[in-house]
Amino acid sequence: MAVPPPTAPATRLSHRRVMVLGVPAALAMIILLAGATGLVPGRVALAVAVGGYGLVAAAVLVRAALAIHHADGTFVACRGAGFVGMGGLATALTAIVPAWPPPGAGVWATAGLGVAAACYSVGTLLLPGAGRGWALHSRRAFDGLGLGVSIAFAGYLIPPVKDAHAATLPVTLITATGIAIVLVSVLRGTPHRRPAIRCGAGAITVLIGLSAVATLVTLGRGDTAALALIGVPLVAGLALTADGGSRRDLPLPPLEPRNPDQYLASYPLLAVPAAVGVIAAIWHLVEVRSFDPTSIILGIAMVAVLVLRELLVVRDIRKYAGQLQTAEAHFRSLVAGATDLTLVLDEQLRIRWQSPAASRLFGLSDDEVVGKAFRDLIHPDDVADAQEVIDSVLAGEHADGPPALVTARLRDGAELWRDTESTIADQRSVPEVAALVVHVRDIGERRHLERALHKLSYTDQLTGLANRRALMRDLLAYRRRAGRQGTLLVIDLHGLGEINDARGRETGDAVLIEVGRRLRALLGDDDVPARLGGDEFAVLTADGAVLAYALATRIATVLAEPHQLPGAVVEVHTSIGLAELAGGADSDEVLRHADLARKRARQLGLDRVEWYDPDVEMKLNRRMDLEREVLGAVERGELDLVFQPVVGLRDDQPAGVEALLRWRHPTLGTIMPNELLPIARAVGIAADLDEWVLDTACKHLSAWSTGDNGFWLSINVAPRELLTARFPDRVAATLRRYGITPERLVIEVAETWIAEDVPAIVASLSGLRKLGVRAALDDFGAGQASLSHLRRLPVDMLKLDASLTNTAPEATPGSGPAVIDVVVSLGRRLGLEIVAKGLEAPEQIDRAAQAGCLYGQGFALGRPAPAERIEAYLESHRA
């Protein structure tokens, strides 16, 4: 772990440490130099310099240990500083022994060396980064003990002077053991921080110096000047131990060591002591040819320590072997129970190993896979893409990112291809693996679900047809085909809302399902039927204009047929718009064109088919503008009435007038009734317009001074307004308001509307007749069932359609004159007054008069004009 840069408080501590340790060290060195030059006795200089500086170093270390001991857990040093400080104190006391030698000074010096060695050994074991736990510290102390005994044994055998070394053997043994323990502690610490190394190096230096002092005192040479020179490494060692052991600016150590005994095989702790002892024994045997009891005891102790440590190593090896076996068993259980297949590939991409899941999940045995090339399992169409990904892995492109992903079909034991997804990890840099590791997952079920979801996202759930998204996708595909013609049909159903309201949504859904079935039955294999939503459908066909129009006509006919449903028979109608695929800039515009054509078809009626052209959009825009503005036309005074005279064909005198509605639009000009009335019915104000026409026309009639109570006014009324219960009351109220006799008002009903509800029309007209109001059947002859309804309707007047009078004058079988003669004859027999409409030429007037028509109406007799002109017209004819 990297040491962070020191903070400001840590920098101040470092400066204080330099002052506290550096100045006394300099003074101690001066005293020692004085002792070495003879200015001061050597033993006195040693006692003063080393003893004094030892106390300073001990104070610094103990203070640091006390501060660390009372820290709140964020401090990162350890109790080792206290033991190292005690070692410094023992060093100071041992340095005083030569100056004031007590009886048995050698024993005291050796004892001081032993205490110092023990303190330094324990302190370095507890330094930061040295690990935790008594077992770990005991093992390292035992390793140091074995190394120290071996060195002491070698040191005892190699020198030639036996007596001296026999006396100093305890010093040698203590020194070697202490140095060995400190050395092992420092080398085994993780991480190897510089402060710990400085502390260990200082402790080793101090132990060597104390060993020299104890040796001289034991041999009776404690008064020599050499003691002052020995004090120099002692002061230097104490300075190193105090500096390294009292550091407080270190990062937190890891909570647990990575592996407390991971260095068992990292250092030759067995080989070095054994080699040292063997070499020393061989040299001693060659030179001396015999061993004394002390050397034998040391040798036995060395061998015993080495054997015991070997036994501990064997125990650790067995322990770790058991742990590895357990981990391997866990790994095998995980791999065997995994839902992924694991393959190991060599550099040539051959399969070296496969997990047990291969036979369980894919039905692949080791004989079928191991030794084969990985590409042999991949589908031929997917080999190129997989090889590209593998090559990128071999090139190291995924070294710093996530594992490479390969999607391919793999062959299983039944020779079937499965959809799989594989991750490839490059483990060639790991010595234990040195291969590519491939994890294969069967994604067949996921792909099946994806395809099912994809199908659902492009399918209408009710009808099973394509939805709007699928239609737009296919429409884009059609347009991309070079030279491919095609047509889009948009179909709108009418009447589905009423079915839902009257019979429930279940019936409405059944109608939609039946519509989808009928559409599929009418289309070819290349055509695409779709439901756009609600009651709107579409068909995408490759047919051109003629065939597409014919198809649309068939669709309108088939969908208009009654739908036989359980417990109900319902009918729907359609409006169909067509647009060529090549007519739009994109798919959205083609759909918009077809939808505009569909709207235009709806404006023109039910079961209509319309092509899109630019005029359609213009007409739609005009229609929408009119629908928006007609709502306020009455309030703005934009509505007007014109009146067309009805003239008697016998006396050429005006018998009445017909009120015709006009919308004087400020920008679009005059809007005629054939355009205005459908718009009024669409926006729901047809009844309001009829009421306005009735009131305004009666007001003008009351103002005209005709002098003839037989002069009548006719107005056109829509069937929906005629069938309301309040209509007769409103008519009666209007006649009373303007003082008009009921016989002068004629209510006209178009013959083409009669078939909508004949009984209701008959009842409404009967109610008007009771008031005295007359009724006229307008546009008689335009329908296909005119004669069948004529006897049932309580009408007083027939207004013949212009088609009966605008015919050639020759009387040929089946020609117009014969028809008009029959119609007029029938009307006169029923007591009806006949009005011939659309008379635009004198010949037509003569033809109507010859047929027996009493009245005529048309441009040849009088054009529609405002009320003022009609009043003048009437005045001129009366005069």
237-280 per-position pLDDT tens digit: 888 888 877 765 555 554 444 444 444 444 455 566 667 777 77
807 CB-near residues (< 8 Å, 6+ apart): 815, 816, 817, 820, 847
**Distance spanning both ends of the chain, measured CA to CA:** 126
Q: What's the rounded mean pLDDT across residues 439-447?
A: 79
* Range with the poorest average pLDDT among 444-448, 499-503, 584-588, 738-742: 444-448
Please state the φ and ψ torsions of residue 384, each to the nearest 5 degrees.
-60, -45
Most confident of 470-474, 705-709, 752-756: 470-474
What pLDDT sits at residue 75?
42
Query: Three-class SS string for 81-130?
Result: HHHHHHHHHHHHHHHHCCCCCCCCHHHHHHHHHHHHHHHHHHHHHCCCCC
The matching CATH number, chosen from 3.10.20.30, 3.30.1360.170, 3.20.20.450, 3.40.109.10, for 633-878 is 3.20.20.450
Q: Which of 36-50, 62-76, 322-336, 774-788 has the highest mean pLDDT?
A: 36-50
Among 872, 837, 835, CA closest to 853: 835
**Do you know the residue count of the chain?**
879
Domain parsing of the chain, residue ranges:
13-310, 338-449, 459-612, 633-878
What does the alpha-carbon distance between residue 224 and residue 226 come to, in Å, rounded to a whole number? 5
In this structure, what token pair is assigned to residue 209? 């110096």
The yes-or-no verdict on residue 815 having pLDDT over 50 is no
Domain with residues 338-449, CATH architecture: 2-Layer Sandwich (3.30)
pLDDT of residue 788: 64
- d(CA 729, CA 725) in angstroms, rounded, equals 8
| 139 residue type, one letter | R
pLDDT on residue 713: 92
Q: Which three-class secondary structure state does DSSP give residue 158?
A: coil
Q: Give the model's pLDDT for residue 159.
A: 59
Q: 520-574: per-residue pLDDT in tens? A: 999 988 889 999 988 899 999 988 888 999 999 999 999 999 888 877 788 899 9
Going by pLDDT thresholds of 50, 70 and 90, the confidence category of residue 493 is: very high
State how far the Cα of 801 lies from the Cα of 781, in Å rounded to an integer. Answer: 6
Q: What is the DSSP string of 184-210?
A: HHHHH-SS--HHHHHHHHHHHHHHHHH
The whole-number pLDDT of residue 198 equals: 82
Reported as a single tens digit per residue, the pLDDT across 187-200 is 766 544 677 788 88
Q: How many CA atoms lie within 13 A of 365 on its CB side?
A: 3
CB 186 within 8 A of CB 224: no
Q: Are 116 and 210 in contact (CB under 8 A)?
A: yes
Mean pLDDT of the chain: 79
Q: What is the mean pLDDT of residues 857-862?
A: 90
Contact between 228 and 35 (Cβ < 8 Å)? yes
pLDDT at 577: 92
In angstroms, the CA 114 to CA 59 distance is 20
Is the four-CA dihedral 577, 583, 588, 592 of positive or negative sign?
negative
Tens of pLDDT, residue by residue over 52-91, are 888 888 888 888 777 754 444 444 445 777 888 888 888 8
**Nearest one of 559, 569, 463 to 512, comparing CA atoms:** 463
Supply the pLDDT for residue 126: 77
pLDDT value at residue 264: 41
Token pair belonging to 76: 């990162």
Q: How far apart are CA 496 and CA 535, in angstroms?
A: 7
Amino acid letter at 387?
Q
Say which residues have a Cβ less than 8 Å from residue 620's Cβ, sequence separation at least 6. Answer: 596, 599, 600, 603
| Non-local CB neighbours of 737 within 8 Å, separated by 6+ positions | 698
Mean pLDDT computed over 637-646: 91
Best CA proximity match to 83, nearest among 91, 74, 95: 91
Least confident interval from 166-175, 549-558, 588-597, 784-793: 784-793
Structure tokens at 196: 């710990």
* pLDDT of 336: 66
Provide the pLDDT confidence category of residue 148 given band limits of 50, 70 and 90: confident
Rounded to 5 degrees, φ, ψ at 522 are -85, -20
| Residue found by looking up tokens 């205490």 in the block | 115
Pairing of strands 528-533, 536-541: antiparallel
Q: Of 213-227, 237-251, 446-460, 726-740, which has the strongest mean pLDDT? A: 726-740
Q: Do domains 459-612 and 633-878 have the same CATH topology?
A: no
Q: Which two tokens stand for residue 683?
A: 């926006």
What's the pTM? 0.47
pLDDT for 2 equals 40
pLDDT of residue 557: 92
Say how far apart CA 469 and CA 455 lie, in whole Å.
11
User: Tell me: the pLDDT tens digits for 416-434?
Assistant: 888 888 888 887 777 767 7
As a whole-number percent, the residues of the chain with pLDDT over 70 amount to: 82
Asked whether the bond before 191 is cis by omega within 30 degrees of 0, the reply is yes
Separation between Cα atoms, residue 43 and residue 416, nearest integer Å: 95
Residue 751 has pLDDT above 50, yes or no: yes
Question: Do the beta carbons of residue 855 and residue 837 sit within 8 Å?
Answer: no
Least trusted range by pLDDT, from 257-271, 622-636, 697-711, 830-844: 257-271
Lowest-confidence region among 46-60, 68-82, 573-587, 785-799:
68-82
Q: Which two tokens stand for residue 204?
A: 């080793």
Label residue 782 by pLDDT band (50, 70, 90): low
What is the pLDDT at residue 519?
92
Contacts of 317 (CB under 8 A, 6+ apart): none
Residue type, 343: L
- Residue with the bigger pLDDT between 786 and 228: it is 228
CATH class of 459-612: alpha beta
Instruction: Name the band, by pLDDT with cuts 50, 70 and 90, for residue 581.
Output: confident
Per-residue H/E/C for 616-675: HHHHHHHHHHHHHHHHHCCCCCCEEEEEEEEEECCCCCEEEEEEEEEEEECCCEEECHHH
**Would you say 529 and 478 are in contact if contact means Cβ atoms under 8 Å apart?**
no
CB-based contacts of 359, cutoff 8 Å, min separation 6: 365, 413
For residue 74, what pLDDT is reported? Answer: 40
